[in-house]
Amino acid sequence: MALDSTARNTTINSEGGDVSWYDNPFQNLEPITQNSIHPLDVVCAVLHCSDNFLQQEIISKMSMCQFAVPLILPPSHEQDCTFLLWALRGIVKRWRPQSLTESKGFIEDNLVNIKMPTFSFVRLGDCNISKSRILNQLLCQTQSYYDIFVNRDMLCENAEKTIADGLVEMSWFFPGSVNKSELFPEPAAIINLRGDLATHWRQFNFLTHVSSAVFIFTKYFSEKEYKLFLNCKNINTDYYFVIDSSDDIETKKIFVTLKELSKVLKVHVLKSNHRNIKELIRAMQHYVAKYLAKHEAQLSLQDLADVATKFGFQVDENSTECKKAKTHADSITNEIKNVFEYKKKTMPLQGVPWKEISKIEKELCRMKHQGSTNIDIYKRKLEKKCSELHRTQYECEIPHGIRNYMNSLMTLSVVEKCYLMGWMKFYLDGITRSNLSGLQAEYKEKCNELPANPSEINKLHDNISDSSLGVDHFLREVGQFYEAECAMVKEKHIQPNEKKFYRLPGLAADLLLNGFPLELIDGDASNIPLQWVTDVLTELNKKTAGRCRMRVITVLGVQSTGKSTLLNTMFGLQFPVASGRCTRGAFMTLIKIKENLQKELGCEFIMVIDTEGLNAPELASLEDSYEHDNELATLVIGLSDITIVNIAMENTSEMKDILQIVVHAFLRMKEVGRKSNCFLVHQNVSDVSAYLNNRINRNKLLNELNDMTRVAAKMEKIDAPMQFSDIMNYDPDKHSWYIPGLWHGVPPMAPINFGYSENIFKLKKYLINFMKKSQNSGPQDIDSFTEWMNSLWKAVKYETFIFSFRNSLVAEAYEQLSMKYSELEWNFRSQVYSSLTEQENIIKNQPQSRITCVTTEILEHKMPQLLDREEAYMKEQLKLFFDSSSSRMYVAERYRADFMGYVKCLRKNMEVIISSKCWEAVKIQSGKHEIHNMQETCLRLIEEKVGIYLKTHTRNARDMSNAELRKEFDLIWDKILQELQVGRLRKRRIDNEMLEQLKREMTNRGGSVKQTLHNVLTLKYYGQNEFKMEKTYINIPFWSAKNFQEFFTNGCYNKLASAAWLLEHQCQIYVTDRINTGEDYNEIYCQELLNIINQKLNQEEVRKLHPTASFEANLKLHILGTAAPQFQKMHDDFGLKNDPRLLINRLKPQYFDIFKNKLQEKDESNARAKDFCDQCLKPAITDHIYKNLGKDITHDILKDPADVRFNSQNQFHFRILKELLEMNTFENYAEYIKNYEIYVKRWISKYIITKYKTTSGLDVLITKIISSIAEKIQSALNDKNVQRSQNVSEFCKFFRQNLVKHLVISDNAMKVIIFQNTVDIHRLSSNITFHLKKCQEEIRSEMKQLGIESILACLSLKPQDELLKKVLGCGKKCPFCNAPCETRGDDHQEHFVSAHRPKGLAQYTFAEDNNLCTASCSTDIISNGAFRNPDTEGTWHPYREYRSVYPQWIILPEINPTYSLYWKFVLTQFNYDFANLFQANPADIPEEWLKITQRQALSSLQDTYYIK
């Protein structure tokens, strides 16, 4: 089956292994027993055990190897002699008779049809001459002898035949050379009877009736034989007796007997012995040539079969199934005379309608002929025409031939269908050959005419292309009927239950499972019937019960370089070879894998895709030929796991052409995430040293491939440097294979080259092992294959392939990747936030003298170590995720580098956050230094005075009542306050400070700005009202024409006003967050406001609006003017709260308790412990909760398995848009569109409030935090240093040290606890433990009373901000429709949106009538339209080349029209509202938009975001 010319070696390996007789000739002197089986016994046994289809395959392969093939099988124990007519129908021969020598023409036909004289060779009795060897010499040129017939000189032939006697073999001679050295001028058939003719008289008698001459080898001929031959007296054939006798007397007797026989028969005598074999052969050749010259008695194999039937031989084609299938095939094909006319009449659907539909489908994607027509109108026109064509196809009556074909597929059994396909192939190939030969002759005649007529020649070209007819054309037409019906259902012209052709995909799936190729790409129309192929494969999936995982292997190459032969040889397939047809397109065949290999390969099937017509010379004149080749290569490479590029070494220019196409295809696949494996097969390289000698050529070829890759990358508009190895897995040493030529000599009489099959077997073995090792790339199942096929083909049709590719598999993989990244990102952030909170606590617990050095240590050592660890962990987890075969991440391989880059960017962002937070803590603590000093002075004096009094009045005060003690204490307290010379805290003028900061920041601006700021004396007059935009804030460029200035100003004005409003909102949120901290105002707050403004104004989309310096100055004055009074109140409140006198009065009750207990000599342990919990721990724990609760809320929401909306951007966008659709109010849509970020943040806040308001979730989180910190407090109390403390002061010192990372305990409160505290440390510790439990309950109770809204306002880390970061993306918006970017990651270079909107929703209007625009950028980018805006500096720019203006934006063409239904529904519903909002005229809503329902809009959302 693998075209192995040594296949007839049937030696049985001995059990002794490799030890041969040559190693020890005296080892065994016993007679050698037979250790081989006769090759012909093997042939007969195999054919007897095979069904007719396998017999046909085996005999076809034997014929290719130039083996003689069985014609009549000897009888077996179950059946009589069998004439193998069906088995021989698979052989096609091509030859050049003498009559065509000058024209160098040739004839091609099926062997069964070829009429030629037949010459039979038989043996009578024993004979010393090897008949078979003489036949080999008779058929072979002197210089190219090979064993056509098995003979005694071959290995194994000496074994005795057991079942092969009576076998009738056949071989042929076909002339092929233009030289005179050719043996015979015309074809001749040679038949060889195995065994003695006397024993197999029936076979001999048959041969005498069909042969022009019979050559009889014998060494005796007596009276007995004479009588036997008299039975042939009525047969008109010539008998040549080859006498093999060295005995002259015996020879004379034979001559006498034969002379007598010559009176009855035509007898000729040839005498032979071993010394004159060459003369004998020359004589035989002479007689054969003489019969050929007469052109008499020419019979075909069909004629021979008819004669065989008369002799009682069983003919394999006479089975019931074969006859029935033949009858059906006749009914299908008997009308065919002229292929071109037949196809027009019987296959109308795949003709003009299908080709027109294909053109329209591509035009819908490319809009090349749109002209000045409005794109929506042009698109509707094309869709209408396409619908009409589908209707025309559907209404077409099913022609007689197609109806018969369908009925045959539906009614015949599996075996009968296999016969049917064989018969149809036989008939159709014959008809095609007949038609093509006439057209080719006419073409040659036209080309030789002077002057030549180009139009007639081109017409003949088209006719030649249209005159190929095969079984695939019938299946293609069936597919077209199915496609048309599906289109009718889709367009709702018929109901699904009215379908007539629903069974057809299942029938085609059966054919595919039975090994017949299925057309993937219709090469004539350069299109794929997507619905048909998808449904056939879906049926295949059902028939295999979902066990249809596949590895896909594709071969690409120039036409007629042996691609199909390579696949047929490698896998035993039946791709058409040398059938006389010029086929275009691609065909796929399934190979079932044996169970023992399925586990190793991880799949049940190998799908092999054979492509034809690449760079075909016959099709070079067709205008779409090169485009077709590119599309074909892109699709099949995209579908394949392994691509074999077949290269014929003798044509380097064609090789470069094909490689250029292949490189483009590989480059496109790399960009969409599929990095295929490539094998270059160099054919016709016969030298044994080819591999080593071609090392230089391999390197040279690799350099050329690198050059091609760079050129291709440039053409595909990819800026990154590229090499061939970057776009595909290719190892020059392991992936380059050198295959010798197929033929050993010159066809048609040349056998297969043994090196050809041997090297192909090695390649196959390597490919299998390669697939075993590369299981992590994952086999494809039917669903993923069809998804790739659909999306790849749609993307191919859009031409700008790389930037228009997206399918559900890639989207699903990207979504999984995004969710994994989201999970890891939050883990990273969470770890950093936890550590950052601890480090801020450490900073806040430091004395002023150490605060800077501690912070430096944190920023230079501790935090970098944490970031290194978390970054490494995140990258490792991403790598594991990519390499995991279960996650199917191989389809998103293109995103690996992007996401690894996002990790680095995340780390940098966290570094910035850490640094700013730490230094902010330092500045805040430093700002409190003055307050701390004043408070410390006061407390020192109080403790001193109270301490003196306690020492001197203890005895006298023992009997005093509480009222008397209170009175006494008040007198002491008032006296102390009189002695304290404490002034109030310095009150700052925040607005003046902020104004000065602004002036310093804008020192380097122009004179007008300086002058404006110089005249501003205070901020109190700014920010009182909304910021007022002025048209003078826009700098109209000098290049703008007068008629463009107004357009330019209005466009920029609206966008700049929107940017200013968003900045105001963003800054106000920052101000509110700072105020909620309860800290004092710090100048860094003003600086941060200025940073926020500068960052926004420096963004490219704002700079393109050309704002003036005056705009910047006035906006900053406005925002700072709004913030100043709020910061002033913040400062005043802080001063009030931290005023030393007020602070002292707040501590008075605690000091009184100490005073009273000391004087009354009560046990203070319990009271001091309660004060410790109330004054020290409770505020610190509350602060700890506010610092950690935000993180825990975020974590709780993200880890909720029932809701993934914040981990999945698709889910988030779907949920929020679905809610908008359900509310369906204009106000909500307007807010979402105009202020997307604000709307989303408000939506998230509402979600958090709703989630925790109605459940106990928040209390659970708070309790968890309290319990955790309580455990740490208890652990600190139990610390050995704390327990061993000598006094309370030491106790407090060690206690604080243990909790330095977790709690910030007030110094003042701690000093009160220490004051005059002489209680037992162990009792104090025990009492603190007791009161701590009560303290926890109090905190929980107070938190419950606050409510979720109040708590959210106090949190250090806002969960709504963290969740917003996860779903908001980069914040960039589509430059045309304002849809927000959905790409994941912090540092992505390309922006993407799943569904673009009608541009009217982004305030786009038509210039001529100010109507809102209904077109979307998804359709504009494939149209002939143009745009102009400030980004194009007022010049018109083609939409197709939008990336030259917006290189970071990828706008996908509208591959799925359902994606845009949602926003079309919105604009249709609120057309007039949006017109009023944007001060424009309502849009002209297309009629079909009015039919969009709310349900369809929701379904559109589900399709867009792949929600199942």
Rg of the chain in Å (alpha carbons)? 47
SS3 content of the chain, % helix, strand, coil (to 5): 60, 10, 30
Whether cis (ω within 30° of 0) applies to the bond prior to 748 is yes
pLDDT of residue 389: 94
3-state SS, residue 1088: helix
Say what the pTM is: 0.74
Residues 8, 192: Cα–Cα separation, whole Å: 17
Q: Assign 1297 to helix, strand or coil.
A: helix
Strands (E), 298-376: 314-315
- As a whole number, the mean pLDDT across the chain is 83
Nearest to 565 by CA among 52, 60, 51, 174: 60
Q: Around Cβ 50, how many Cβ atoms within 10 Å?
A: 15
pLDDT tens profile 1095-1154: 889 888 888 888 888 899 999 999 999 999 999 999 888 877 777 667 677 777 777 777
Other beta carbons within 10 angstroms of residue 526's beta carbon come to 23
DSSP 689: T
Peptide bond into 353 cis (omega under 30): no
Instruction: Identify whether the C-beta of residue 386 lies closer than 8 Å to the C-beta of residue 436.
Output: no
Which 3-state string (H, E, C) describes 1070-1084? HHHHHHCCCCCCCHH
Residue pair 447/540 in contact (Cβ under 8 Å)? The answer is no
Cα separation of 480 and 473, whole Å?
Answer: 10
546: left (phi over 0), alpha (psi -120 to 50) or beta: left
The Cα–Cα gap between 440 and 1491 comes to 56
Residue among 1339, 1317, 1297, 970 nearest 1172 (CA) = 1317
**480-495: per-residue pLDDT in tens?**
999 999 999 998 889 9
Collapse the DSSP code of 110 into the 3-class scheme (helix H, G, I; strand E, B; otherwise coil) and give the result: strand
DSSP 518-544: EEEEETTTTB--HHHHHHHHHHHHHHT
Which residue in 1355, 1293, 1299 sits closest to 1332, CA to CA? 1299
Report the distance separating Cα 614 and Cα 658, nearest Å. 8
Burial class from Cβ neighbours inside 10 Å (0-12, 13-18, 19+) for residue 1485 reads: middle
Tokens of 1086: 């003003």
Pairing type for strands 69-73 and 168-173 reads: antiparallel
CA distances from 1248 to 119, 1036, 1356 (A): 96, 45, 16
Distances (CA, A) of 297 to 185, 268, 636, 1147, 1370: 16, 19, 51, 133, 87
| Among the listed residues 672, 651, 649, 563, the one whose alpha carbon sits nearest the alpha carbon of residue 612 | 563
The structure tokens listed for 1469 are 């519903």
Give all strands (DSSP E) within 701-797, no chain letters. Answer: 736-739
Which residue, among 370, 313, 328, has the nearest Cα to 167 in the 3D structure? 313
Eight-state DSSP code of residue 1176: I
Rounded-to-integer distance, Cα 1265 and Cα 1190, Å: 11
Q: Residues 903, 878: contact at Cβ < 8 Å?
A: yes
CA distance 257 to 1236: 113
CB 1212 within 8 A of CB 1153: no
Q: Which two tokens stand for residue 608?
A: 């092999």
The pLDDT assigned to 1499 comes to 92
Judge whether 170 and 192 are in contact, CB under 8 Å. Answer: yes
What gap in Å lies between CA 1107 and CA 1189, rounded to an integer?
A: 42
Whether 1018 and 995 have beta carbons less than 8 Å apart is answered as yes
Structure token pair of residue 709: 């890759």
**Rounded to an integer, what distance in angstroms lies between the CA atom of residue 108 and that of residue 99?**
14
Phi first, then psi, for residue 169 (nearest 5°) are: -105, 160
Listed in sequence order, the residues at least 6 apart from 1486 whose beta carbon sits closer than 8 Å to its beta carbon are: 376, 380, 1414
Q: How far apart are CA 1417 and CA 919, in angstroms?
A: 46
- Encode 186-241 in three state secondary structure: CCEEEEEEEEECCCCHHHHHHHHHHCCEEEEEECCCCHHHHHHHHHHCCCCCEEEE
CB atoms within 10 A of CB 1102: 17
Residue 612, beta-bridge partner list: 585
Two structure tokens written together for 312: 């009682």
> Which residue, chain included where needed, has tokens 């083996």?
67
Stretches in the chain below the pLDDT threshold 50: 14-33, 579-580, 803-804, 1039, 1042-1044
Count the Cβ atoms, other than its own, within 10 Å of residue 603. Answer: 24
- Distance CA(506)–CA(718), nearest Å, equals 43
- The token pair at 1494 is 């709310």
Is residue 2 within 8 Å of 569, Cβ to Cβ?
yes
pLDDT of residue 580: 47
Q: Which residues pair with 1411 in a beta bridge?
A: 1481
Nearest-angstrom CA–CA distance, 913 and 936: 33
Q: What is the pLDDT of residue 14?
A: 46
Residue with tokens 């057209």: 439
Q: How far is CA 744 from CA 139, 752, 1027, in A?
A: 15, 6, 90
Closest Cα partner for 33 from 185, 123, 158? 158
Count, residues in the chain: 1508
Could you report how far apart the first and last alpha carbons of the chain are, in Å?
47
